[in-house]
Amino acid sequence: MRIFLAGATGFVGGHVRRTLLENGHELRVLTHKRLAGPEPGTETVPGDITRTETLAAAMQDCAAVINLVGIIREFPARGITFEKLHVGATTNLLAAARQAGINRFLQMSALGARPDAVSRYHQTKYRAEEAVRTSGLDWTIFRPSVIFGPKDDFINKLAGIIKSLPVVPVIGDGLYRLQPINGNDVARCFALALEMPETVGQTYGLCGRDRITYQELLEIIARALGKRSARTLNAPVPFIKLATSLLQRFSFFPLTLDQITMLLEESICDGSWRETFRFEPVGIEEGIQVYLK
């Protein structure tokens, strides 16, 4: 099957790209930058996700579209916004898919996307979902929790903090929960869904095997780094929010208010996706040891 893949050069895109190729699919990859090297079975096409007219022609002869486009942080002064890259990009891909005669559409969203979401990230992810649901195409939506793997942003950033600082600052009590899922497991779900008609019209929350607190995650990362434990300092949420509100406009500052909101409201699911896709996800401790050692 030839698949049009948007967002192929990102962290998750790398996992999905490799998994699809291993499963014998041909890929047409929309990119604004070159891949690291030529990949058998992969055709790269230049294009702009914000311009529908560049997409439909690139989709010709493809059987499905996978949309992995997304950002975790906005930079409005540079034109990088959730509205543009979540809602706008999805709308453009859907229009181009219809124009190209493609019926199958797989969308990556996020746990926490919902009508009454507080964060702009989740609000725009949900609006993109609604565009997919009302598109008339044969769609499947995936909502992953925090995704981990080599070159991930979240786990590697925390590992860097644990290695470089004598004390790790923690927002609030650190007892908010996550269920991180391995990038290969997310990619496997995308690949399987292409072969499973029963996934059409379904939305799946994707979470890992281990439901852990943020504090527990820090301890797991510390052990993977060969440390006995992570020394932490709990910082009051109002103080962190105040500092973030003043500094988030600077790109060097690692946090935004949106990200704090998402962290505190947790990222967990019931794991029912395993009943459909029938495999066990990699555990967080086992998974991160592969690339943090």
User: Helix, strand, coil proportions of the chain in percent (round to 5)?
Assistant: 40, 20, 40
Residue tagged 């499963």 (tokens): 23
The answer as to CATH 3.30.70.20 being correct for domain 2-146+182-207+268-282 is no
Q: How much is the pLDDT for 231?
A: 94
Amino acid identity for residue 211 in this structure:
R
Instruction: Give the predicted TM-score (pTM) of the model.
Output: 0.95
CB 176 within 8 A of CB 264: yes
Q: How much is the pLDDT for 46?
A: 85
Q: How far is 39 from 55, CA to CA, in rounded Å?
A: 21
What is the distance in angstroms between the CA of the first residue and the CA of the last residue of the chain? 37
Q: How much is the pLDDT for 48?
A: 83
Q: How much is the pLDDT for 37?
A: 62
Q: What are phi and psi of 282, to 5 degrees?
A: -70, 135
Q: How much is the pLDDT for 35?
A: 61
Number of helices (H) and strands (E) in the chain: give both, helices first. 11, 13
Q: How much is the pLDDT for 153?
A: 93
Q: Which residues of the chain register pLDDT less than 50?
A: none
Q: How much is the pLDDT for 40?
A: 87
Q: Where are the domains of the chain?
A: 2-146+182-207+268-282
